[in-house]
Amino acid sequence: MKMAYDLNPEVNQDYLYFAAGNAVNSINYSLALEYYLLLRDINYDGVTTKFYITEVESGNEIEISSEDEFNLLQKSKDYDNPREELTESRLPEIVKNIAF
């Protein structure tokens, strides 16, 4: 996963986060610490936007996988109540794991 991050560090920061978790799970704490310190240094918080919209016919709210699809469905009469939600920050976990 670290290699995927290295290919495009601007876009693939999530891969570095998952590589750090994998290092912890394989009990390679020195490597995990290296990755967590790098995540801290690049100000990674892992916050992303999730998109939701309600199907008018069923009344079920569904999660939409992309912003483009979300914007398209908002124009349809088959959907209403669009909303966006930010995920929780991963920074507290990163700081905790650095201290560990």
* 13 contacts: CB under 8 Å, gap ≥ 6: 5, 39, 42, 44, 46
In this prediction the pTM is 0.79
Tens place of pLDDT per residue across the chain (100 aa): 899 999 999 999 999 999 999 999 999 999 999 999 999 999 999 999 999 999 999 999 999 999 999 999 999 999 999 999 999 999 999 999 999 8
How far, CA to CA in Å, does 41 sit from each of 19, 61, 63, 82, 85? 16, 37, 32, 35, 26
Look at residue 1 in the predicted model and tell me its pLDDT. 87
Tokens coding 39: 């995540």
Q: Where are the domains of the chain?
A: 1-44, 47-88
Structure confidence at residue 83 (pLDDT): 98
